[in-house]
Amino acid sequence: MQNLTKMTFEAGSRVTLLFDFWVVDRPAAGMVLSVFVVILLAVFYELLKVWKVQLGKTLEQPTQPAFPLPLPPPLPSSDCQGSSAVLASSLSESSLAPTKWNARTPSPMNRWRLHGIQTALHILQVTLGYMLMLCVMSYNTWIFLGVILGSVLGYFIGVPLLGQI
């Protein structure tokens, strides 16, 4: 006899999530609590992504500007001295020299520590991502909507923390 599982979404209140002990069979308390936990897991997943990107920015070497910002062009002059004013205000060799950049670069030990933290965050992110995928594969509409809502909330909260807005 074949054991066929449903492969269509249903909006029922009975579902088993991730483990045998996480059986939801009550519509009110069990499903609402399970959707809330799934939302929190998805928010945490998105925040992990943001944190990992932020650590990656810390690991990057600061870039030195090749040239300082150019001076604004001089105002046009009607007399003969205008051409000498243009030459005097143009960039000289000394102003084309690279400027000193005072950003600190992390030491090699700190770089390895940050890389280790970033690797641990990646492992946690991948594990959590697969757990969320398995929650969606329960084919329960409410759980699916919880994952989507959690991802939206996590992105909405996480991107301003990264400073990209």
Each residue's pLDDT tens digit, 115-130: 888 889 899 999 999 9
Each residue's pLDDT tens digit, 80-138: 555 555 555 555 555 555 555 545 566 778 888 888 888 898 999 999 999 999 888 88
Average pLDDT over residues 147-154: 95
What pTM does this model have?
A: 0.63
Return d(Cα 13, Cα 31) in angstroms, integer.
6
